[in-house]
Amino acid sequence: MPNPAKRLTTLDLLEAKRAGRKIVALTAYDALFGQLLDESGVDVVLVGDSVNTVLAGQDTTLSATLEQMIYHTRMVRAGVRRALLIIDLPFLSYQVSVEEAKRNAGRAMQLTGANGVKLEGGRAMRDTVRALVDIGIPVMGHVGFTPQSVHALGGARVQGRGPEAGERIVADARALEEAGAFSVVLELMPSAVAARVTEALTIPTIGIGSGPHCDGQVLVLHDMLGLNERFQAKFVKAYANLGEQVRAAVRQFAEEVREGRYPDAAHSFEQ
C-alpha cells in the first residue's frame, strides 16, 4: 500500500509506470466515500461526470454542468488527503474554444482544490491540452469510448476494432502525450489495442473496460460496490453486494419501527 503520509502527485504516476507498479483509481462524489477511498490506499480519486448518471439518475453524462462538478469535487476534496484528486470537465465546458477551456478548467481548479482535470478526445483536443498545460493545469486525457460523444459513437460500444480503428486510438493517445497530458484513460477497447497504446506512451494509461495491459485501472465506485444495479457491463466486477445489503437493512429498520422494537432502551435517553 502507498505511504499514507505522502500526498501523491502526477510525477508519482509517471514513476509508477517506469517502475511497473499498477495504478489504482476509483470515482467518488462526496466526502465520506472520498475519505474511505483515501484511507484504503487508492492512488487516484476521480470525480467523474458519471455523477450525472450514478447519483442524478440521468441517462447520459451530457447534462452534467461545471457547477455540478465543482460542487461534488469540493465535497470529495474534504475527504481526500493523500490521493491525487482529478475533476472531470463536463460536456461543452472545454470544447467551444481554447480560451473558454482555460477559463473553466482554471475555475474548477481554483474552487475545488483538485490536482488536475480530465477531458475527453484525442487529436482534436491537442491544442486545448497544450494550452491548459502551458498555464499550469495538469491534464488527464481520455480516448476510446468517450461518453460525452455517446450519440456520435452510436452508444456505449467497444472502439478500436480493426487495424485502422486501432491505429486511430494509438494516434489520439500519442497526440495527448505530445500535448503534455500526464496520463490517459483508455475506455472500452480491445485488450490488444490498449496494450499497444500503453507500450507506445511514456505516460501511464488507466484502463476501464480495456483489459489487463494498462498501467492502472479505474471503475465507478458504485458499480464496483454493487450499489448501481441498473448498470451491467462485462468489464465491471462487483466486489460487494451493497445494494441488497441496503435493502435488507432498510427492511429490518422498517420492521422494528412498525413493531415498536426500535428505539429500545439502549437507544433512548433517560431523564
- Annotated active-site positions, please? 187
Rounded to an integer, what distance in angstroms lies between the CA atom of residue 74 and that of residue 89? 14
* Rounded-to-integer distance, Cα 61 and Cα 45, Å: 18
Can you tell me the distance from the alpha carbon of 96 to that of 91, in angstroms, rounded to the nearest whole number? Answer: 10
What is the DSSP code string of 213-252?
TSSEEEE-HHHHTT--TT---TT---S--HHHHHHHHHHH
Helix H or strand E segment including 104: helix 98-112
Q: What are phi and psi of 87, to 5 degrees?
A: -105, 130
Q: Which residues contact 130 (CB under 8 A, 6 or more apart)?
A: 179, 180
Task: Classify 33 as helix, strand or coil.
Answer: helix
CA distances from 134 to 12, 88, 113 (A): 20, 19, 19
Distance in angstroms (rounded) separating the CA atoms of residues 103 and 93? 9
**Residue 256: other Cβ atoms inside 10 A:** 13
End-to-end CA distance of the chain: 49
* Residue 51 in grid coordinates: 455523477
